[in-house]
Amino acid sequence: MTDPAALESSLLADIAAATSEEALEAVRVAALGKKGSLSALLATLGTMAPEERKSFGAAVNAVKDRVAEALSARKAVLKDAALDARLATERLDVTLPARESGIEAGRIHPISQVMDELTAIFADLGFAVAEGPDIESDDLNFTRLNFPPHHPAREMHDTFFFAPDAKGERKLLRTHTSPVQVRTMLSQKPPIRVICPGRTYRCDSDQTHTPMFHQVEGLVIDRSANLGQLKWVLKEFCRAFFEVADVRMRFRPSFFPFTEPSMEVDIQCSRRGGEIRFGEGEDWLEILGCGMVHPNVLRNCGLNPDEVQGYAWGMGIDRIAMLKYGMPDLRPFFEADIRWLKHYGFRPLDLPSLAGGLSA
Q: Which of 337, 314, 355 is nearest to 179 (CA)?
A: 314
Cα–Cα distance, 319 to 92 (Å, whole number) = 49
Of the chain, the end-to-end C-alpha distance in Å amounts to 87
Q: pLDDT by residue for the chain (360 residues), tens digit each?
A: 567 777 777 777 878 888 888 887 887 777 777 777 777 766 676 677 777 767 777 777 777 778 788 888 888 888 888 888 888 888 777 787 777 777 777 888 889 989 999 999 999 999 999 999 999 998 999 999 998 877 776 665 678 888 888 888 889 999 999 999 999 999 999 999 999 999 999 887 666 667 888 999 999 999 999 999 999 999 999 999 988 888 889 999 999 999 999 999 998 888 776 677 777 778 888 889 999 999 999 999 999 999 999 999 999 998 888 888 888 778 888 888 888 888 888 887 776 666 555 665
Cα–Cα distance, 222 to 230 (Å, whole number) = 13
Is the CATH number of domain 108-344 3.20.20.60? Answer: no
Do the beta carbons of residue 138 and residue 154 sit within 8 Å? Answer: yes
Do the beta carbons of residue 215 and residue 314 sit within 8 Å? Answer: yes
Do the beta carbons of residue 221 and residue 309 sit within 8 Å? Answer: yes
Cα–Cα distance, 195 to 233 (Å, whole number) = 12
Distances (CA, A) of 155 to 69, 138, 158, 160: 99, 11, 6, 9
pTM of the predicted model over 0.75: no
